[in-house]
Structure 1
């Protein structure tokens, strides 16, 4: 079995390779290790190998795993990459350094209130429903300029735009569209690309990639 250190080195090498044609710098791309569903004992080897940026999907799961890990590794940066319920806004602001799923006015209101109460300002990526899929979260493309104006008016720092392209379709056009939307709206950050397509995302301007399987290996099958 590959070690965590070798998997991490391979992903970083791929990032560097994909940066060369577009003359990008690998250090300008943040690699987020998606640790959702992975227990502490599988996260620690990546921490020991030097990875410091991690992503979780659920507030409750992160609350169970990360306080102790963050105490042992105080320079860890934690990103919430999954959908966020408005009633979990306070917990999310307390625990996370970045939020990738700001996508609707009700959540905007809850996060603004939570940040004001805590005195902590958490940069947020605005999630865009890039494939216009009913089952996915994200702000509709047509509503994006108006929603971004509301985020700015609420004094929430905008880290960038985020998307999850439709499954089983070539992702490049969706990444290119997100890049254009960011450019049109004066935004630099782009959270896009996962284990199966992060190399394409890097080519098309991603600043943050969310990689799970390529770093942690295939998920362990549980016994029936």
Structure 2
């Protein structure tokens, strides 16, 4: 199946899920996660109207997105993978949104980078929603303190992001993230990937991160 056919199918699935949830599908931002895929695989989606893309690694994004941004207008790039504090300034310069704010040292690094660059990317705190020690993200119990630290550092946190535990029903974790966001007065929810984005849409996701359903298996 061509990338453009996959894009049409994913958009249709988003629309159906939004209708079930009595939502406007325009309220859901589809992030096409293009990690490991070359520019020639990305270009057909851009030409089909997709404008929001996600990358997992700063270095990979540096290698392919500046040229794409020169060729195409109005692209929006999101960092959806972990961010090292020493890459904070590069990330702030390159990305329009960062979904993986998860620890005090990164909060401080991002605050300095935003002050130096004058750029103001949309920021999500990544929550380790299953409290899994092998995963990134702040633990659920630590979320209020991290949000306080971010506000004290001058960071505007807009939403929360999560990756539920693998091979279990995602809905309870998405519902918990939505509740945490409501409790903290945050409007944006980055949740849902290729296997579960319809569930995420029905549970009020504002951003879904879809890779393999658009690009096929990773190289």
Fold conserved (TM > 0.5)?
Answer: yes
Aligned to 2:139: 140
Whether 1:92 and 2:64 are equivalent positions in the alignment is no
Conserved? CA contact 2:128–2:136, under 8 Å: yes
> 5+ residue gaps in structure 2?
none
Report the aligned-residue RMSD. Answer: 0.9
1:156, distance to aligned residue in structure 2 (A): 1.6
What is the CA–CA distance in structure 2 between the aligned matches of 1:14 and 1:21, rounded to whole Å? 11
Deviations 1:52-99 (A, max 9, x none): 000000000000000000111120000000000000001000100000
1:6, distance to aligned residue in structure 2 (A): 1.3
Report the 3-state secondary structure (helix = DSSP H, G, I; strand = E; otherwise coil) of the residue aligned with 1:20.
Answer: helix
Report the 3-state secondary structure (helix = DSSP H, G, I; strand = E; otherwise coil) of the residue aligned with 1:161.
Answer: strand
Runs (4 or more) in structure 1 with deviation over 3 Å come to none
Aligned to 1:183: 182
For residues 22-101 of structure 1, what are the structure 2 equivalents within 5 Å?
Answer: 22-101=21-100
Aligned to 1:104: 103
1:23, distance to aligned residue in structure 2 (A): 1.1
What is the CA–CA distance in structure 2 between the aligned matches of 1:183 and 1:30, rounded to whole Å? 19
What is the CA–CA distance in structure 2 between the aligned matches of 1:218 and 1:45, rounded to whole Å? 17
1:155, distance to aligned residue in structure 2 (A): 2.1
What is the CA–CA distance in structure 2 between the aligned matches of 1:136 and 1:165, rounded to whole Å? 10
What is the CA–CA distance in structure 2 between the aligned matches of 1:166 and 1:64, rounded to whole Å? 31
Whether 1:5 and 2:4 are equivalent positions in the alignment is yes
What is the CA–CA distance in structure 1 between the aligned matches of 2:46 and 2:97, rounded to whole Å? 19
> 5+ residue gaps in structure 1?
none
Deviations 1:2-43 (A, max 9, x none): 222211111011001001122111100000000000011111
Conserved? CA contact 1:122–1:157, under 8 Å: no
Report the 3-state secondary structure (helix = DSSP H, G, I; strand = E; otherwise coil) of the residue aligned with 1:156.
Answer: coil
Aligned to 2:161: 162
Conserved? CA contact 2:36–2:218, under 8 Å: no
Report the 3-state secondary structure (helix = DSSP H, G, I; strand = E; otherwise coil) of the residue aligned with 2:160.
Answer: strand
What is the CA–CA distance in structure 1 between the aligned matches of 2:218 and 2:111, rounded to whole Å? 36
TM-score, structure 2 as length reference: 0.98
What is the CA–CA distance in structure 2 between the aligned matches of 1:218 and 1:140, rounded to whole Å? 30
TM-score, structure 1 as length reference: 0.96
Aligned to 2:150: 151
1:44, distance to aligned residue in structure 2 (A): 0.7
